């Protein structure tokens, strides 16, 4: 039995009430094919398009409406009001910057993130793509939080969140604090005295999108002042455990419990390695030598403390037994954490678990790093995720 255009619109409205938008759209478009000037059908279709976030289609529909009758809705103004009040799109991901006494270096780090955001928009053809920045101020005694807020105001950056811890908890606690406020598909970390290179964000995001089975991506690191002299074993070890070159799915980060915050790790370090082991034991990863982050040297920072060892300029030192003991305890704790993660069943919505439960140790032969067994670069490294030792 044939229905009238008015009856068809009523039927479409009922489908919309039930959120059966595909059925409603078919009816409305068929109605407009029969009577292109039926504004009631056009109005409902406009509502449907805006409800589903199809702004461009809604705008095109509004632009062909020529009615000036004040008794009817103004379709153009309706689109304008929707755009003014619509919630923003979900961010592509979140950059967490743990910061302590970072008032001096933080603006440069934030500038590098902004450049990477602009590059991501240009490279993906998505000029409105958003990236959230979370500055996790670890109870700094200086103006770190105020500097972050001032930078956002100066640059008109509205996607910045500043969190300030009540007490100093160390970089692991600050990273976890920031990650708890993450939104989007990707989670990146950047220390407040280092920098992203322009393609860092799009590099990790595009690889995770291309390889759904991967839980994380690691890229290469450009070492300030010593990059041409860094020994292969130290380059690989650092790139396999650092936080600044990591792009991880937030769900994977939360599944492994984030970075370990126990005091023993604050005393001897190693929270980055423990976190990396947990990720690598549970999820497939994509590892590339392409350098997308800048590990900046600054007097007294981590690179300053390790640069001679990275380049082989410093001979082996006598181990401090109390420090070695502390490291051993941290390793035992990390091993126990890995055993617990290995025993956990797969979780719906997460990438698949690895086929093995131990992180590979023969890092120099990892083809995803573009290195052969002797540490020399290979021309074409495979791009597949995961893979064994």
Please check the confidence at residue 377 and state whether its pLDDT lies above 70. Answer: no
Quote the CA–CA distance of 250 and 343 in Å, as a whole number: 21
- With a cut of 90, say whether residue 360 has pLDDT above it: no
pLDDT band for position 370 (cuts 50, 70, 90): very low
Which of 38-52, 135-149, 267-281, 362-376 is the least confident region? 362-376
Q: What is the pLDDT of residue 135?
A: 98
Contacts of 153 (CB under 8 A, 6+ apart): none
378 has a pLDDT exceeding 60: no
pLDDT higher than threshold 60 for residue 379: no
pLDDT confidence of residue 319: 57
Task: Note the CATH number of domain 5-85.
Answer: 1.25.40
- Looking at residue 380, its pLDDT comes to 32
Model confidence at 315, pLDDT cuts 50, 70, 90, reads low
**What's the chain look like in SS3?**
CCCCHHHHHHHHHHHHHCCCHHHHHHHHHHHHHHCCCCHHHHHHHHHHHHHCCCHHHHHHHHHCCCCCCCCCCCHHHHHHHHHHHCCCCCCCEEEEEEECCCCCCHHHHHHHHHHHHHHHHHHHCCCCCCEEEEEEECCCCCCHHHHHHHHHHHHCCCCEEEEECCCCCHHHHHHHHHHCCCCCCEEEECCCCCEECCCHHHHHHHHHHHCCCEEEEEEEEEECCCHHHCCHHHHHHHHHHCCCCEEECHHHHHHCCCCCCCHHHHHHCCHHHHHHHHHHHHEEEEEEEEEEEEECCCCCCHHHHHHHHHHCCCCCCCCCHHHHHHHHHHHHHHHHHHHHHHHCCCCCCCCCECCCCCCCCCHHHCHHHCECCCCCECCCCCCCCCCCC
- The phi-psi region of residue 186 (left if phi > 0; otherwise alpha if psi is between -120 and 50; otherwise beta) is beta
The mean pLDDT of the chain is 85
CB under 8 Å to 176, separation ≥6 — which residues? 258, 259, 261
* 159 Cβ contact partners less than 8 Å away, ≥ 6 residues apart: 91, 130, 131, 132, 133
Are the C-beta atoms of residues 97 and 135 closer than 8 Å to each other?
yes
Ranges of each domain in the chain: 5-85, 93-313+334-369
**Averaged pLDDT, 275-299:** 89
This prediction's pTM: 0.75
Instruction: Identify the pLDDT of residue 113.
Output: 98
Q: Selecting from 3.40.190.10, 3.90.550.10, 3.50.50.60, 3.40.50.1110, what CATH number does the domain 93-313+334-369 have?
A: 3.90.550.10
CA dist., res. 380 & res. 368, Å (int)? 10
Report the percent of the chain where pLDDT is more than 90.
53
């Amino acid at each position: 039995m044939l229905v009238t255009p008015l009856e068809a619109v009523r039927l479409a409205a009922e489908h919309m009430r039930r959120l059966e938008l595909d059925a409603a759209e078919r009816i409305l478009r068929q109605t407009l094919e029969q009577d292109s000037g039926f504004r009631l059908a056009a109005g409902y279709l406009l509502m449907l398009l805006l409800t589903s976030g199809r702004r461009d289609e809604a705008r095109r529909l509004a632009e062909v409406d020529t009615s000036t009758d004040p008794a009817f809705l103004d379709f153009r103004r309706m689109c304008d009001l929707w755009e003014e009040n619509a919630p923003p799109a979900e961010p592509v991901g979140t950059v967490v910057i743990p910061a302590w006494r970072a008032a001096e270096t933080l603006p440069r780090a934030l500038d590098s993130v902004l450049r990477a955001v602009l590059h991501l928009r240009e490279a993906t053809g998505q000029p409105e793509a958003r990236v959230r920045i979370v500055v996790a101020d670890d109870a700094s005694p200086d103006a770190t939080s105020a500097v972050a807020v001032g930078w956002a105001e100066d640059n008109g950056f509205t996607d910045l969140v500043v969190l300030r811890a009540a007490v100093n908890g160390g970089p692991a606690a600050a990273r976890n604090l920031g990650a708890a406020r993450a939104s989007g598909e990707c989670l990146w970390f950047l220390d407040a005295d280092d920098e992203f290179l322009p393609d860092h964000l799009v590099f990790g995001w595009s690889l995770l999108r291309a390889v759904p089975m991967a839980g994380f991506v690691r890229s290469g690191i450009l070492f300030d002042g010593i990059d041409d002299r860094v020994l292969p074993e130290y380059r690989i070890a650092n790139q396999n455990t650092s936080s600044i070159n990591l792009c991880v799915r937030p769900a994977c980060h939360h599944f492994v419990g984030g970075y370990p915050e126990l005091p023993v790790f604050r005393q001897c370090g190693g929270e980055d390695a423990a976190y990396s082991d947990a990720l690598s034991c549970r999820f497939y990863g994509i590892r590339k030598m392409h350098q997308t982050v800048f590990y900046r040297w600054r007097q007294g920072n981590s690179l300053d403390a390790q640069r001679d060892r990275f380049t082989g300029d410093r001979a082996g030192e006598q181990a401090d037994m109390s420090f070695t003991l502390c490291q051993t305890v941290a390793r035992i704790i990390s091993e126990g954490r890995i055993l617990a993660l290995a025993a956990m069943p797969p979780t719906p919505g997460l990438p698949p678990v690895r086929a093995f439960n131990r992180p590979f140790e023969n890092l120099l032969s990892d083809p995803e790093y573009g290195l052969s067994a002797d540490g020399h670069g290979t021309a074409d490294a495979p791009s597949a995720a995961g893979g064994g030792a």
